[in-house]
Structure 1
Amino acid sequence: MKQRKVPLRKCVVSGEMKDKKSMIRIVRSKEGEVSIDPSGKMPGRGAYVSIEPEVAKKAQKNDTLSKILDVKISDEFYQELIDYVTHQKARQELFGK
């Protein structure tokens, strides 16, 4: 049977190439609203961040997503991202990939 190609994405914070399932997509809509995209299919400009709490905290410290998505991102959104990533990381460890 033919082996399927695994889609890889680059983390905008760490620069690592990982498979799409171990990343979270952050999307900026045409209206300039930034949100977490769990499905990975929302329309707009996207950026991928690794599902690692340390990476999300580093993104907040360096304000990486504001630079990448070209919009001001609040500390509340970064906290939401850190909470979401921490939750997803715990789920992966509990249930496996």
Structure 2
Amino acid sequence: MANTKKIPLRKCAATGGMFPKKEMIRIVRPKEGDVSVDLTGKKSGRGTYVSKSEEAVETARRNRSIEGQLGTAIPDQVYDDLLHAIRREALK
């Protein structure tokens, strides 16, 4: 039997699709409350994931799906940070 490592999948808050964790960006709401983009995926708090595509981020913004997942209002700055992170990674 081959040694196949299981790839962790996460559900995109915007599209509902299942993707490998490495293809997602995490948004986290710690107990203190300030929602932020978690590029490391290791910050503590309630988290949700969105696909690394501008379309998914815009869909999440329109549908307020991240707000529903985290149970709080999401500032525009968080969406801007997501788009910036996606664009920066596309340049690599």
Question: Normalising by the residue count of structure 1, what TM-score does the alignment of the two structures yield?
Answer: 0.85
- The structure 1 segments of at least 4 consecutive aligned residues displaced by more than 3 Å after TM superposition are none
Residue 18 in structure 1 maps to residue 19 in structure 2 = yes
Q: How does 1:6-45 map to 2 (within 5 A)?
A: 6-45=7-46
Amino acid at match of 2:14: V
Question: Normalising by the residue count of structure 2, what TM-score does the alignment of the two structures yield?
Answer: 0.89
Residue 85 in structure 1 maps to residue 89 in structure 2 = no
Amino acid at match of 1:3: T
Mapped partners of 2:76, 2:63: distance in 1 = 12
Q: Which runs of 5+ in 2 are unaligned?
A: none
C-alpha RMSD over aligned residues = 1.3
Mapped partners of 1:65, 1:45: distance in 2 = 11
Render the CA deviation track for 1:13-58: whole Å, top value 9, x for unaligned. Answer: 1011110100001000001111111111110000000001110111
Counterpart in 1 of 2:72? Answer: 71
- How many residues were matched structurally? 91
Q: Give the deviation of 1:63 after TM superposition.
A: 1.9
Q: Residues 34 and 73 of structure 1 are in contact (CA less than 8 Å); yes or no, is this contact kept in structure 2? A: yes
Q: Residues 51 and 86 of structure 1 are in contact (CA less than 8 Å); yes or no, is this contact kept in structure 2? A: no
Percent same amino acid at aligned positions? 43
Mapped partners of 2:18, 2:67: distance in 1 = 21
Amino acid at match of 1:17: M
Amino acid at match of 1:70: G
